[in-house]
Amino acid sequence: GNNTARSLCLAAAMSGMEFRFAAPEGYELPADVVARAEELAAASGGSVARLRDPREAVKGADVVYTDVWASMGQEEESAARREAFQGYQVDAELMSLAKADAIFMHDLPAHRGEEVSAEVIEGAQSVVFDQAENRLHAQKGALALILGEESG
C-alpha cells in the first residue's frame, strides 16, 4: 500500500468508519499499519478489511478512492505494477457496485485508462477537482500556521 492508502486506513479507523482496501498480492498494506488501524477501529467502532477483490471492496461503498499504480520513485516498477493491478481499474462497472450516490476520489494526478477510466474521473460521481481545491485551502492554512509561528 502507498502513503495515501496508509493515511486513509488510519484516518478511517480513528473516525469509526468502515475501511475496505483491495490490492493484489504483494501490494497489501503493511502489517504494522493494519494492526494499528485495527486497534483504532476497535476503539472507535470502525472496521478494517483487507481484500483481493476490488468488487467486494466497493460493494455498497459511500466513497471509492484510488491512486496511481506507480508513485514517484517507482517508475522502474511501473510495468510490473500495471500488470499486477489489471482488474483494479475503477471504471463504470466497478462504480455501479457502490451506492448510487457514492462519490469517486483520487488525489491526482491520475492516469486515465490505468487506475481510473476517463468516464469515471470526468463523471458526475467524481469529486476529484473539489478535492484538489480543498487540498489547496488546507495547504494555505498549514502555511499560515507555520509562518505565523515563525514570525510570532
Residue 149 lies in a domain: no
Confidence category of residue 25, pLDDT binned at 50, 70, 90 = very high
Residue 66's domain spans which residues? 3-127
Residue-level pLDDT at 11: 98
The pLDDT tens digits for 70-100 are 887 888 889 999 999 999 999 999 999 999 9
What CATH number corresponds to the domain at position 118? Answer: 3.40.50.1370
Of 32-36, 67-71, 89-93, which range is least confident? 67-71
Q: Which residues of 94-132 are buried (b: 16+ CB within 10 A; e: fewer)?
A: bbebbeeebbbbbbeebeeebbbbeebbeeebbebeebe
Confidence category of residue 150, pLDDT binned at 50, 70, 90 = low
Residue 96 lies in a domain: yes
Domain count, the chain: 1
pTM of the prediction? Answer: 0.90
Distances (CA, A) of 82 to 32, 51, 56, 75, 123: 26, 18, 21, 11, 23
